[in-house]
Amino acid sequence: MSLIRLEPRGHASRAMVYLTPVLAVALTLASGFLLFLALGFDPVKALHAFFIQPVSTARGLGELVVKATPLVLIGVGLAIGFRANVWNIGAEGQLTLGAIVGGGIGLAFYGDGGWWVLPLMVLGGVAGGMAWAAIPAWLKLRFNASEILTSLMLTYVALLLLNYLINGPYRDPEGFAFPESRMFEPYATLPHLIQGTRVHLGSLFALLAVAGGWVLMSRTFIGFQIRVIGLTPAAAGYAGFNEKRIVWLTLLLSGGLAGLAGLGEVAGPIGQITPSVSPGYGFTAIIVAFLGRLHPVGILLAGLLMALSFIGGEAAQIALGLPKAITGVFQGMLLFFLLACDVLIRYRVRFGARRAAA
Amino acid sequence: MASPTPRLDLRGITKRFPGCLANDHVDLALLPGEIHALLGENGAGKSTLVKIIYGVQHADSGTLHWEGREVAISDPHAARRLGIGMVFQHFSLFDTLTVAENIALGIEDKTTSLKDLAVRIRAVSERYGLALDPGRHVFDLSVGERQRVEIVRCLLQDPRLLIMDEPTSVLTPQEVGRLFETLRRLAAEGCTILYISHKLEEIRALCDRATVLRGGKVVATCDPRKETARSLAEMMIGTSLSTPERAAAAVTGAPRLEVRHLSTTTDVPFATELKDVSLEVRAGEILGIAGVAGNGQAELMAALSGETLIGDEGAVLIEGRPVGHLGPRARRELGLAFVPEERLGRGAVPELSLSENALLSGYAREPLVRSGMVHFGRARSYAEKIIDLFNVVTHGHRAEARSLSGGNLQKFIIGREILQKPKLLIVGQPTWGVDAGAAAAIHQALMDLARGGTAVLVISQDLDELFVLCDRISVLFHGRLSPSTPSHQTTVEQIGLLMGGLFGNSGDDEGEVGRVA
């Protein structure tokens, strides 16, 4: 008999479900405080340098939004799939395809385009992501192959494809054989929304995705079907909901949004196609989706928070001379506390062996 | 006290789960050689009490005395060492192993060889009239024979207390009769039997004493032979019971559902295939399909609801229209309503509110969805209408489906389907696990619906229920459906024989028929 047991509580309170992310953030800050203290830094100054300094200027806030944009775009799409038990783990690959197809359109019309190139690139980005996500959807429905594995493996195929293109057809002919494309023409670049920052049109797309995701999940009949399929597949079959259609819909939707995020990176802050379009936004967005409780508004907040951990980590490296791993430490603590809080609102801990009936 | 020392004496057993008190100071004394019934509605605390006796769960307070000595039963091994055996409602047998191999896996003594065990199995089964061949594979056995395997497994360990949990829910009336003989013989030899059931007539026929639980407390101890089924039911529910009124002779109209030579194939091992099933239900009548679970009921339900599509689209017709190729949504739009056997997890989504569950099937025939958007206000008023008209006890349309008791959830689901004014309603196990009060209300609602001109098809294992409700009854056995008989021209015994496979001259099935009969 074990000495520590978890005993289910009757019902988890709804308020606690939404409060746990806040609690997790508070615990992360408290642990960060102790961690900096142990490392010999003034903890108040260090936390200030990590969490406040980077976003105390307009430019810093802009960078926060720039980093949050792909996370939110992808997170909203993934969360809708997760609600239906469709586990698209390959958003990174779909993002890459969005960059390849949408960016490819920008390169194809290099030098003789016009205002119409950008909308075409956006559509191309969405289509590229959708096409890449359609493969796991088809494999799942045709061969019952797990989309977790197929979508993840296709990510590596996508990265290799990008690598091939960037060393071949996409390479800048005047680029001294560096594996990079040309810089996009101004008409093929997403316009900036706020002067003095790098915030671009993609952030508006992200906000639209949040609003659209919310309407879809809480107001439409499709959203209701998605929730029923995720909670109780047998009830969905009984009600006559078409599960295949929902698999297609959720994978195409999340793939399309990931593709849009990829296009947003190359036609936005990067301005060209490079071998590393994303520092892993597609994977981090999975954390964002769960941290945001699979709810679009929660995902918006979670996306901003994860973006802060990225830029705070960079700032801490510069200001305090801390190693790069500090970003990972804070992201890890955040996840750890979130999961721990989740367990503790559903279960209570009991010490000592189970008492036998006397 | 002149009475003998009880075999097992429970004193003040209390067990609390998060959010509910399952057993509240329960006292129960089981005497040697008696057959003692444990009665109560679902959620009354019967299974918790039994699990405490068998060591699966532990009481928060209270004591257990075995033959006068206080004991702690830490786990089922300890219970078996004391001499407590239990036959569960759901069998734990491996289909691909033989009877002897299954029994060898389940007994404490691992030293006996299979050959010796087979000899002992034969001896025990002969002694108690439990015909059983140790060399047969379990997948080849009928449900009644599988139960015998479980009983023999217990008997091999010479139990002095045998617990039977709802043993007859899967048996034909004839098999029930044989089981009772065995139990009486065991009791005569001094074995105590704790018999858990909600079938009141059986308890009156078999048991010497009955303890009634309600809300976790013992509310009565009585001699069931001196009670009526009605008085026992009223002890269980704590209020008086209304009897459903039988409609006058049914006036039947045009056929609403026709099934013509429906056969299905399956690639799931041990699933039942439907073979040449034909039936017809007309407007205004109730057709009952009897049969022991596992004889094709699930397959028939899925084929009728549209959850499994049928290659031959003319095999199922709604109002003369072939629908075999149509899914559940299209069939609902044609006027089919459907109440599945599993109410939580198929008929309702446990985590969703009652309004959302009203939408689950209500979308097809009620104006709850407009151009892709859910009209939540209408879903709420639809849910409230169901709650109101069908007396669903709940704290409102926001309550999660899982917070309702079985009977109230079933009233909600049946209400949801009936209020859609279906042309045809198919119901699986309408009152299984439902308390007596709710069961009477459900029966009344189904009869009223048929009187209003709807065709109703009821698939049930409960023969009493079918005789109360139905105008005609058919029997499903090994995937075949018997021709229907008007229920006033047949008896429980005749239907029982059909449930055991005696279709008369059904030809190519002779082997199976001969074995079971």
Residues A113-130: tens digit of each pLDDT: 889 999 999 999 999 999
Is residue A90 in a domain?
yes
Residues A68 and A114 in one domain: yes
Q: Give the C-alpha distances (Å, rounded to integers) separating B466 from B285, B394, B458.
A: 13, 29, 8
Domain total in chain A: 2
Whether the per-residue pLDDT at A316 is higher than 80: the answer is yes
Residues A119 and A205 in one domain: yes
Window 195-224 of B, Cβ < 8 Å to A: none
- Which tokens is A245 given? 């259609």
CB distance B387 to B397 below 8 Å? yes
Whether the per-residue pLDDT at B438 is higher than 90: the answer is no
Q: B247 pLDDT band (50/70/90 cuts)?
A: low
Residues A17 and A131 in one domain: no
- Taking the CA atoms of residue B335, residue B276, residue B462 and residue B20 in that order, the dihedral angle to the nearest 10 degrees is -70
pLDDT in tens, A127-182: 999 999 999 999 999 999 999 999 999 999 999 999 999 999 999 988 888 899 99
Residue from the list A220, A237, A356 with its beta carbon closest to the beta carbon of B74? A356
Residues A23 and A133 in one domain: no
Q: How far is residue B137 CA from its own chain's centroid?
A: 25
Tell me what pLDDT residue A233 has.
93
Whether the per-residue pLDDT at B30 is higher than 90: the answer is yes
* C-beta atoms of A228 and B330 within 8 A: no
Whether the per-residue pLDDT at A346 is higher than 80: the answer is no
The better pLDDT of the pair B464, B43 is held by: B464
Percent above pLDDT 70 for chain B? 92
CATH tag, B255-335+424-517: 3.40.50.300
Whether the per-residue pLDDT at A331 is higher than 70: the answer is yes
Residues A162 and A89 in one domain: yes
- Interface check A14 vs B, CB under 8 A: no
Last residue of some domain: A295, A310, A335? A295
Residues A110 and A251 in one domain: yes
Question: Which residues of chain A are within 8 Å of residue B361 when distances are taken between CB atoms?
Answer: 238-239
Whether the per-residue pLDDT at B470 is higher than 60: the answer is yes
Residues A136 and A113 in one domain: yes
Write down the domain spans for chain B.
1-83+206-239, 255-335+424-517, 346-421
Residues A7 and A147 in one domain: no
pLDDT in tens, B77-99: 889 889 999 988 777 888 888 99
pLDDT in tens, B309-350: 888 889 999 999 999 999 999 999 999 999 998 888 899 999
Question: Which residues of chain A are within 8 Å of residue B327 when distances are taken between CB atoms?
Answer: 240, 242
Residues A78 and A35 in one domain: no
Residues A14 and A44 in one domain: yes
Tell me what pLDDT residue B506 has.
43
Instruction: Report, as an integer, the average pLDDT of A30-55.
Output: 89
Is residue A303 in a domain?
no
CATH tag, B1-83+206-239: 3.40.50.300
CA dist., res. A60 & res. B304, Å (int): 62
Domains B1-83+206-239 and B255-335+424-517 in one fold: yes
What is the edge-to-edge ordering of all strands in the sheet holding B316-318? B277-282, B255-262, B316-318, B321-322
Tell me what pLDDT residue B236 has.
82
Encode A278-324 in three state secondary structure. Answer: CCCHHHHHHHHHHHCCCCHHHHHHHHHHHHHHHHHHHHHHHHHCCCC
Is residue A245 in a domain?
yes
Tell me what pLDDT residue A210 has.
98
Residues A195 and A228 in one domain: yes
Whether the per-residue pLDDT at B59 is higher than 50: the answer is yes
Q: Give the C-alpha distances (Å, rounded to integers) separating B458 from A44, B96, B363.
A: 71, 33, 23
Question: Which residues of chain A are within 8 Å of residue B360 when distances are taken between CB atoms?
Answer: 228, 235, 238-239
Helix or strand or coil: residue B381?
Answer: helix
- Interface check B65 vs A, CB under 8 A: no
Is residue A272 in a domain?
yes
Whether the per-residue pLDDT at B113 is higher than 90: the answer is no
Whether the per-residue pLDDT at B45 is higher than 70: the answer is yes
Most confident of A292-301, B3-12, B237-246: A292-301
* C-beta atoms of B342 and A234 within 8 A: yes
Question: Is the confidence metric ipTM above 0.90 for this complex?
Answer: no
CA dist., res. B423 & res. B364, Å (int): 13
Q: Which residues contact B199 (CB under 8 A, 6 or more apart)?
A: B168, B169
Residues A244 and A347 in one domain: no
Tell me what pLDDT residue A66 has.
95
Q: A89 pLDDT band (50/70/90 cuts)?
A: very high
Tell me what pLDDT residue B517 has.
31
CB distance B466 to B290 below 8 Å? yes
Tell me what pLDDT residue A201 has.
94
Termini Cα distance of chain A: 17
- What's the whole-model pTM score? 0.79
Tell me what pLDDT residue A1 has.
45
CB distance A341 to A20 below 8 Å? yes
Question: Which residues of chain B are within 8 Å of residue A242 when distances are taken between CB atoms?
Answer: 327, 329
Question: Which residues of chain B are within 8 Å of residue A234 when distances are taken between CB atoms?
Answer: 342, 345-346
Last residue of some domain: A279, A295, A311? A295
Tell me what pLDDT residue A10 has.
57
Percent above pLDDT 70 for chain A? 96
Task: Note down the domain range covering A15.
Answer: 1-49+323-353
- Interface check B327 vs A, CB under 8 A: yes
Tell me what pLDDT residue A62 has.
93
Tell me what pLDDT residue B20 has.
75
Q: Closest Cα partner for B250 from B446, B389, B464? A: B446
